[in-house]
């Protein structure tokens, strides 16, 4: 069994959904997470705060330097993630499609290196 990262690709200049629409989205996401758990594919999931809340830690000359904000400015950012277990990429892509339908944003599906137990 492999682990896969399902990344929620969020537009940096996107307009947040209205509260009513957000409620519908969150119910679909909760259903998606429940389905993952019932199938034994769920490992972890979570949403992330906006990029401007980030702090970047860089190593330099045996010390570290802290910088406010995201490492890279971009048109999109990682808005949330799920880590799942799936037997292969095709199965992970099925979960990626379900995530995209639930959330309404693009989902990047990427395998972790190596195999995992269970």
User: What's the pTM value of the predicted model, to 2 decimals?
Assistant: 0.89
Does residue 91 surpass a pLDDT of 90? yes
In a domain, 116, yes or no: no
In a domain, 75, yes or no: yes
In a domain, 63, yes or no: yes
The pLDDT, as a whole number, for residue 14 is: 81
**Between vectors from CA 101 to CA 111 and to CA 40, what angle results, nearest 5°?**
50
Give the tens place of pLDDT for each residue, 34-73.
Answer: 999 999 999 999 999 989 999 999 999 999 999 998 877 8
Q: How confident is the model at residue 117 (pLDDT cuts 50, 70, 90)?
A: low
* CATH code assigned at 44: 3.30.70.1060
The pLDDT, as a whole number, for residue 18 is: 92
Token readout for 45 is: 């999931």
* CA distances to 49, 55, 68, 72 from 52, in Å: 8, 8, 8, 11
In a domain, 118, yes or no: no
In a domain, 74, yes or no: yes
In a domain, 117, yes or no: no
The pLDDT, as a whole number, for residue 118 is: 56
Domain count, the chain: 1
Domain carrying residue 42: 2-111
Determine how many CB atoms are found less than 10 A away from the CB of residue 32. Answer: 21
- Specify whether the CB–CB gap between 54 and 62 falls below 8 A: no
In a domain, 96, yes or no: yes
């Amino acid at each position: 069994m492999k682990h896969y990262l399902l990344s929620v690709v969020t537009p940096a200049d996107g307009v947040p959904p209205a509260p009513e629409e957000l409620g519908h989205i969150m119910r679909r996401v909760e259903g998606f997470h429940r389905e993952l758990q019932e199938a034994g594919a769920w490992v972890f999931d979570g949403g992330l705060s906006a990029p401007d809340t980030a702090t970047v830690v860089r190593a330099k000359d045996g010390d570290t330097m802290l910088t406010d904000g995201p490492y890279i400015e971009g048109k999109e950012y990682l808005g949330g993630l799920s880590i799942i277990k799936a037997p292969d990429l095709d199965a992970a892509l099925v979960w990626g499609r379900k995530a995209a339908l639930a959330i309404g944003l693009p989902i990047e599906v990427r395998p972790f290196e190596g195999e995992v137990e269970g």
